[in-house]
Amino acid sequence: MALALIVFVRMWIVTHKPKEPEAGTTPPPSSGMQVDVASPSEAARAPSPAASQDCKTLERALDVVIRTPGDSAALAEAQRTVEACGEPPVRACELGMALDARAPLTQEASPARELLKALCQRCPAAVNTCAELVSRTLVGGLPGRRLELAEVRWNLENAGPGTAAACAVLVREALVPAAVTGGKVDPEHPALVTELAPLCAKGGHLPPLIVNAVLLQQGMKAGNLAALAKGPVATTSPDGGMPPPDAGVTPDRVGPPMAPAQVTGAEAGRHAFDGNEKTGVDLGNGVTERWEADGALRAQFEPPLKQLTVVRIKAKGPGSLRAIVRTPKDLGLKDPERGTFFVNPTVCQFKGTGQWEACTVLAPLLDVEALSVFPSEPKISLYELEARGP
Whether the CB-CB separation of 230 and 325 falls below 8 Å is answered with no
128 lies in some domain: no
186 lies in some domain: no
Each residue's pLDDT expressed in tens, for the chain with a length of 390 residues: 444 434 443 444 444 444 444 444 444 443 333 323 333 333 333 444 445 787 999 999 999 999 998 899 999 999 999 999 989 999 999 999 999 999 999 999 899 999 999 999 999 999 999 999 999 999 987 887 888 999 999 999 999 999 999 999 999 999 999 999 999 999 999 999 999 999 999 999 999 999 999 999 999 889 889 999 988 876 543 333 334 444 444 444 678 899 999 999 988 899 999 998 888 999 999 888 899 889 999 999 999 999 999 999 999 999 999 999 999 999 999 999 999 999 999 999 999 999 999 999 999 999 999 999 999 999 999 999 999 998
270 lies in some domain: yes
Whole-model pTM? Answer: 0.82
126 lies in some domain: no
User: What phi and psi values does residue 87 have, to the nearest 5 degrees?
Assistant: -130, 105
339 lies in some domain: yes
Instruction: Count up the domains in the chain and report the number.
Output: 1
294 lies in some domain: yes
Q: Which of 107, 125, 128 is nearest to 117 (CA)?
A: 128
Range of the domain at 320: 251-388
Q: Which of 309, 302, 280 is nearest to 375 (CA)?
A: 280
356 lies in some domain: yes
268 lies in some domain: yes
How far apart CA 190 and CA 263 sit, in angstroms, is 36
- Residue 264 sits in a domain of what CATH number? 2.60.120.260
Kindly compute the dihedral angle of the four CA atoms of residues 353, 359, 360, 364, in this order, to the nearest 10 degrees. Answer: 180
